[in-house]
Amino acid sequence: MNAKIIAIANQKGGVGKTTTCANLGIGLAMENKKVLLVDADPQGSLSISLGHSQPDSIDTTLATIMGKVITDTAFEPKEGILKHDEGVDLLPANIELSSMEVSLVNAMSRETILKQYLDTVKKQYDYILLDCMPSLGMLTINALAAADSVIVPVQADYLPAKGLEQLLQTIGKVRRQINPKLKIDGILLTMVDGRTNFAKDISALVRETYGGSIKVFNADIPRSVKAAEISAEGKSIFAHDPKGKVAEGYKSLTKEVLKIEKIRQKHKAGISR
């Protein structure tokens, strides 16, 4: 087993990255996949949304482990990994991660520190999801260097075309210089207000602009008060409102992500024959 590593990235904040990371992860766990979620944002939003309301008091976090990789210090195989009762593992983050951004600048092979860590754990998982911070700094570059693919959540009522351009340029650069196998799984429209035609227009616009080159997921994630409530509860949308529209959206996304992987595996098998 070798985990598929997916970075959830967009340098614009407030587009639903963390919600997507948590719910897609738990969606995959519900399909009997072994999943590790990695909080790669110093704000610790993912850690908070999975029930660790005071991330700054957590002893061992992603910053601890990356620090050990940089200094070549040994660490335990499961060190720092916390269990969540909906079946996913979490490597949490807190404010210490912001100083890691600075340490990385002077580290040797600084773009691949996160990858070096993930290489030690990826045999234990089917999927590893990385919740990236809203910037294109060293931590996000590390996530892109470690990932097999990227999912880009985009808020439907505001098409951040410029932001998307920047992100796509960064992904292109990482692909050329560090990680040639990096793919974009697709753009995920979030906070879609089903009552307006606006979301449909945005979806059409995204498809038109990036057309053949980037997939837009069929699943989209509706705007919902309930989804906003859950981050305070430490539970996924599946535990909080399993029959609601948001849970439906994440269920569909989970199926699409599994399907993409199946198609890739088939393609690989075809090539290796």
- CATH number of the CATH domain containing 166: 3.40.50.300
Residue 27 φ/ψ, nearest 5 degrees: -60, -45
Q: Which two tokens stand for residue 246?
A: 């948001």
204-215 tens-digit pLDDT: 777 777 766 788
100-to-46, 69, 138, 154 alpha-carbon distances in Å: 18, 12, 9, 27
Residues 199, 187: Cα–Cα separation, whole Å: 13
Residues 66, 88: Cα–Cα separation, whole Å: 21
Q: Which amino acid is present at 158?
A: Y
- Model pLDDT, residue 138: 93
Q: With contact defined as beta carbons under 8 Å apart, do 5 and 148 qualify?
A: yes
Nearest to 1 by CA among 115, 128, 127, 123: 123
Length of the chain, please? 273
25-76 tens-digit pLDDT: 999 999 999 999 999 999 999 999 999 999 999 999 999 999 999 999 999 9
| Helix, strand, or coil (residue 129) | strand
Residues 202, 184: Cα–Cα separation, whole Å: 19
**Mean of the per-residue pLDDT values for the chain?**
89
Q: With contact defined as beta carbons under 8 Å apart, do 260 and 185 qualify?
A: yes
- Model pLDDT, residue 249: 93
Averaged pLDDT for residues 91-114:
92
137-178 tens-digit pLDDT: 999 999 999 999 999 998 876 655 566 888 889 999 999 999
Residues 149, 209: Cα–Cα separation, whole Å: 20
Q: With contact defined as beta carbons under 8 Å apart, do 126 and 30 qualify?
A: no
- Model pLDDT, residue 226: 67
Burial of 160 (C-beta count, 10 Å sphere; 0-12/13-18/19+): middle
Nearest to 131 by CA among 202, 212, 231: 231
Averaged pLDDT for residues 2-26:
93
Q: With contact defined as beta carbons under 8 Å apart, do 159 and 205 qualify?
A: yes
- Model pLDDT, residue 42: 95
Burial of 211 (C-beta count, 10 Å sphere; 0-12/13-18/19+): exposed
Q: Give the DSSP H or E segment for 114.
A: helix 113-121
Residue 85 pLDDT exceeds 70:
yes
- Model pLDDT, residue 123: 96
Residue corresponding to tokens 């974009």 = 184
229-273 tens-digit pLDDT: 666 678 899 998 899 999 999 999 999 999 999 988 888 888 776
Report how many domains make up the chain: 1
108-145 tens-digit pLDDT: 899 999 999 999 999 999 999 999 999 989 999 999 99
Residues 254, 273: Cα–Cα separation, whole Å: 29
Residue 227 pLDDT exceeds 70:
no
- Model pLDDT, residue 10: 92
| Domain residue limits at 247 | 4-272
Residues 104, 88: Cα–Cα separation, whole Å: 28
| Crossing angle for the helix pair 96-106 and 138-146, to the nearest 10 degrees | 80
